[in-house]
Amino acid sequence: MPAPHSLIGRILGGYVVQSQIGAGGMGIVYRAHDERLGRTVAIKILPKKFRADETLRMRFLREGRTAARIDHPHVVRILSAGEEDDIPFLVMEFVDGGSLQRVIEKRHKLALGTALRILRQLAEGLAAAHRVGVLHRDVKPANVLFTREGEPRLVDFGLAREEVSDVQLSQTGMVMGTPHYMAPEQALGERTIDARR
């Protein structure tokens, strides 16, 4: 039996939580087993300290709805979302080849051809997001994961914004994202960030 504070071993929406594989500001990511289909998935859970804040709960679940609209091989697929026992969660494809951040830290640089291939594939994924009106707003090496075959997947749409939205879930004037990787207009806090078709 897992410790009371641990989610390891818990079943959420038919997914058995197995081990923690990552954590960020707005989510903890676990490896999980899909009992129905017998496959490994990743399950992102809103940390306990944020669950009482309805705005943060809405923002977290909106991430799943937003990312699920994007259908592209270089964007991680959202498989399911839900809440169980007051725990909001997102289920996505499991991508286990490491992050671009880890590759850069290990190798310090990429061969030009490799870098261009990754850049092109991610640009195609971002273009697919833009076509459905989704702006990622936090593209950085840590948010690029690789499959075992070396194919990149853009992840973490937690700061994404829909170009046309009737719900304001970000604080007005608050700059969101990772400073070293922001577009200049985003760093300045401008509300006119767009996909630049």
Q: Is 138 a catalytic residue?
A: yes
End-to-end Cα spacing for the chain = 52
State which amino acid sits at residue 97.
G
Catalytic residue chosen out of the listed positions 138, 156, 166, 194: 138
Contacts of 60 (CB under 8 A, 6+ apart): 26, 27, 46, 50, 88, 90, 158
Using DSSP's 3-state secondary structure scheme, residue 41 falls into: strand
Residue 147 CB: number of other CB atoms within 10 A?
A: 15
Q: Are 74 and 125 in contact (CB under 8 A)?
A: yes
DSSP letter, residue 76: P
CA distance 31 to 17: 6
The set of catalytic residues is: 138
